[in-house]
Amino acid sequence: MLNVSFWNLAIVIVNLLVLYIAMRIFLFKPVQKIIAERQEEADRQFEEAAESKSQAENMKAQYEQSLADAENEKKQVLKEARKSADVEYQRILKDAENAARQVKQDAVAEAENQKAQIIKKAEKEIADMVVDAAVKVVGEKSGAETDSALYSKFLDKAGDES
Amino acid sequence: MNTLIAIGAGIAVLGALGAGIGIGIATGKAAEAIARQPEAEGKINKTLILGCALAEATAIYGFVIALMVIVMLK
Amino acid sequence: MEDLAKNLMEELECETVFTIPVFGGIDISESVVVTWIIMAVLILAAILLTRNMKIDHISRRQAVAELIVTKLTGMVEGMIGPEGKTYVPYLTTVLLYIGVSNIIGLFGFKSPTKDLTVTIALAVMSIVLVEAAGIYHLGVKKWLHKFVEPVAIVTPINILEVFTRPLSLCMRLFGNVLGAFVIMELIKMVVPFGVPAVFSMYFDIFDGLLQAYVFVFLTSLYINEAIE
């Protein structure tokens, strides 16, 4: 118990050192390695999860974006359609108006034309009548009497005519 | 001679006195500390046990010396 | 009574198991043999526990190994602090060794820590480690300067401390184990069965593990002091 021998001391020290090295090799190193590996694995998985989450969020954002785009597009199309329809409507309206105006103008022009023709015709007839009357008057009598007769004749004729 | 050895060993073991007083004081203080801060009980207990083990060393030294006196002088 | 003393002395005496016939005969004492047995047990247990470890779906064996290692290293790290991480495996080994040797008496072996040789070896290793750590971390100059701190007059005490520290470490361990053993023998003498089991719980298991803890705690305290 109390007797200490140098050799035993040395042997115990060597024993302890051997035990220390053996424990290091067989116990601490593998366990620490496995724990480090697990940590790494966990980190990796965590990262992966974060990544997939961000991916999912990206996808969601994309999806929402596309949804919003579709909505916008729909609105755009609708707006354009409405606009084009409006333009068409306006155009048609304008066309119609134009056509109506044209018709009216045509009608007015026609009427004017006819009127002018009628007037021309009337004038020609009047002139003919005047010539006729004049020829007649000159043939029958001359002077003031003639003139007045001429007038009345003309007037009669004109009254008949009209 | 044997009587003297026995007396010597007995005197050596008197060192246990100090350990007893020390452990008593430490335990009393620990009880006070726990009363004051019950949530720190685990830490206080750990420290107390450690302190007791260290204080006990005094008694152990006395014991070892008593044993040595007996074994060596016999 | 004569009988008891004789019995006790016989139990306490570490006899030579065999002699290696070199250098004029090296006597191998019982404690060395038991140390070998403990080493074999610890190493075998380590190999068995850490065989084909996996990252996930771990077996119960691996869980036990991881629990032991993480708990023990965590405990030692808590004592020594983050600066002394290098010394954690050694201190944990010492903790395991002392703990196992203190309770191996329950299995009929003679505790190696009951032999002064083993505790001296442990203490010598501790103090060598402490001083080596001081030199390694601070350099020779600063390490030497530590002896004249805080004032020059305490230098003899500081130098003396280099010897008293291992002495107290070794004596504490040895005396505790020896004392526990003697008291247990006395109790066994008085009450042959039943009661000794209860006291054995305290003296062999609790005190044995506590002393292992205290030994490692003090060593880590010294290391901590030496490297800062």
Residues of A with Cβ-Cβ distance to B68 under 8 angstroms: 2
Determine the distance from the C-alpha atom of residue A143 to the mean position of all C-alpha atoms in its chain, rounded to a whole number.
87
Instruction: Check if the beta carbon of residue C66 is closer than 8 Å to that of residue A39.
Output: no
Domain ranges, residue C141: 11-227
A4 touches chain B (CB under 8 A): no
Report the domain count for chain C. Answer: 1
ipTM: 0.84
Residue located via tokens 């005969």: C25
- AA identity, residue A48: E
Instruction: Check if the beta carbon of residue C79 is closer than 8 Å to that of residue C216.
Output: yes
The answer as to whether C85 is a domain residue is yes
Write down the pTM of the prediction.
0.72
Query: Which chains neighbour B (Cβ–Cβ under 8 Å, 3 or more pairs)?
Result: A, C
Contact A7 C14 (CB under 8 A): no
The alpha-carbon gap from A2 to the nearest alpha carbon of chain B, in Å, equals 8
Residues of C with Cβ-Cβ distance to B53 under 8 angstroms: 210-211, 213-214
Q: Look at A154 and C97; give whichever has higher pLDDT.
A: C97
The alpha-carbon gap from A43 to the nearest alpha carbon of chain C, in Å, equals 13
Please give the Cα distance from C30 to C121 (Å, whole number).
15
A2 touches chain B (CB under 8 A): yes
Report the mean per-residue pLDDT for chain C: 83
Whether the per-residue pLDDT at A61 is higher than 90: the answer is yes
The answer as to whether C79 is a domain residue is yes
Spell out the domain ranges in chain B: 2-73
Spell out the domain ranges in chain A: 39-161
Please give the Cα distance from A110 to A54 (Å, whole number).
80
Instruction: Check if the beta carbon of residue C208 is closer than 8 Å to that of residue C162.
Output: no
Whether the per-residue pLDDT at C73 is higher than 90: the answer is no
Which pair of tokens denotes residue A2?
């109390």
Contact C213 B50 (CB under 8 A): yes
- AA identity, residue A53: K
Q: Model confidence at A67, in pLDDT bands (50, 70, 90)?
A: very high
The answer as to whether C138 is a domain residue is yes
B18-55 pLDDT tens trace:
899 999 999 999 999 999 999 988 888 888 888 888 88
First to last CA, chain A: 169
The answer as to whether C6 is a domain residue is no
Cβ atoms < 10 Å from Cβ of A46: 10
Question: Which class is B2-73 in CATH?
Answer: mainly alpha
Query: Which chains neighbour C (Cβ–Cβ under 8 Å, 3 or more pairs)?
Result: A, B
C175 touches chain B (CB under 8 A): yes
Cβ atoms < 10 Å from Cβ of A68: 10
The alpha-carbon gap from A53 to the nearest alpha carbon of chain C, in Å, equals 23
